[in-house]
Amino acid sequence: MKVLSKAKLESALNKLSDKNEVFVPMQKGERSGYFTWKSFDNGQDELMLDALNVYQSPKNVVLPQTEKMYSIKSQGVEVNIDKTYEDAHPTIIFGARGCDVKGIIAMDDVFLTRGYEDSFYKARRSGNVIIANACYEPGANCFCNAMEVNSLDPVGSDVILRDAGDGYVWEVRTEKGEAVTALIADLLEEKEAKLPEVKPFTQKVDYSGVAEKLKDMFAHPIWDKLSQPCVNCGMCTYVCPSCYCFDIQVKMWGDEGYRFRAWDSCMFEEYSREAGGGNPRGASKERFRQRFLHKLEFFKERYGTPLCTGCGRCIIVCPTDINIVRIIDAVKEAEINA
Residue among 60, 37, 59 at smallest CA distance from 49:
37
Least Cβ distance, residue 321 to another protein (angstroms):
4
Residue number, 86 or 189, with CB nearest to another protein? 86
Name which of 182 and 283 has its Cβ closer to another protein: 283
**Residue numbers 224-253 binding another protein by CB under 8 A:** 228-229, 231-235, 237-239, 244-252
Choose between 155 and 317: whose C-beta lies nearer to another protein.
317
CB of 192 to another protein, least distance (A): 29
Q: Identify which of 91, 22, 30 has the alpha carbon closest to the alpha carbon of residue 55.
A: 30
- Is 49 a binding residue for another protein by CB under 8 A? The answer is no
Q: What is the DSSP letter of 23?
A: E
Q: Show the binding pattern over residues 75-104: x = contacts another protein (CB under 8 A), - = does not.
A: --xxxxx--x-x------------------
189 vs 256 by CB, closer to another protein = 256
Question: Which of 219, 333, 335, 338 touches another protein (CB under 8 A)?
Answer: 219
Q: Tell how strand 128-133 and strand 91-96 pair up.
A: parallel
Q: Which of residues 115-144 bind another protein (CB under 8 A)?
A: 115-120, 139-141
φ, ψ of residue 96 in degrees (nearest 5): -80, 135
Question: Which residue in the set 2, 59, 102, 281 belongs to the binding site for another protein (CB under 8 A)?
Answer: 281
- Residue 221 within binding range of another protein, rule CB under 8 A: no
Candidates 312, 327, 328, 331: give the one binding another protein (CB under 8 A): 312
Check if the beta carbon of residue 22 is closer than 8 Å to that of residue 37.
yes
In angstroms, give the least distance from the CB of 142 to another protein.
8
Q: Which is nearer to another protein, 12 or 226 (CB)?
A: 226
Residues 282-311 that bind another protein (CB under 8 A): 284, 286, 290, 293-294, 297-299, 301-302
* CA–CA gap between residue 111 and residue 4 (Å, rounded): 34
Pick between residue 169 and residue 322 the one whose CB is nearest to another protein.
322
CB 160, CB 153: distance < 8 Å: yes
Residue 101 · residue 62 · CB < 8 Å: no
Q: Which is nearer to another protein, 176 or 281 (CB)?
A: 281
The DSSP string of 293-311 is HIIIIIHHHHHSS-S----
Q: How far apart are CA 286 and CA 266, in angstroms?
A: 10
Stretch that binds another protein, among 10-18, 36-44, 51-59, 169-177 (CB under 8 A): 51-59
CB distance 160 to 171 below 8 Å: yes
Q: How far is the CB of 113 from another protein (least distance, A)?
A: 6
Question: Quick one: which of 51, 223, 211 has its CA closest to 142?
Answer: 51
- Binding marks (x or -) toward another protein, 8..47, rule CB under 8 A? -------------------x-xxxx-------------x-
Q: Which of residues 160-199 bind another protein (CB under 8 A)?
A: none
What does the DSSP assignment read for 237-300? HHH-SS---EEEEEEEETTEEEEEEEE--TTSGGGG--TTS--TT-SHHHHHHHHHHIIIIIHH
User: Which range, of 144-152, 169-177, 193-201, 321-329, touches another protein by CB under 8 A?
Assistant: 321-329
**Of 219, 226, 230, which Cα lies nearest the Cα of 326?**
226
d(CA 192, CA 250) in angstroms, rounded, equals 55
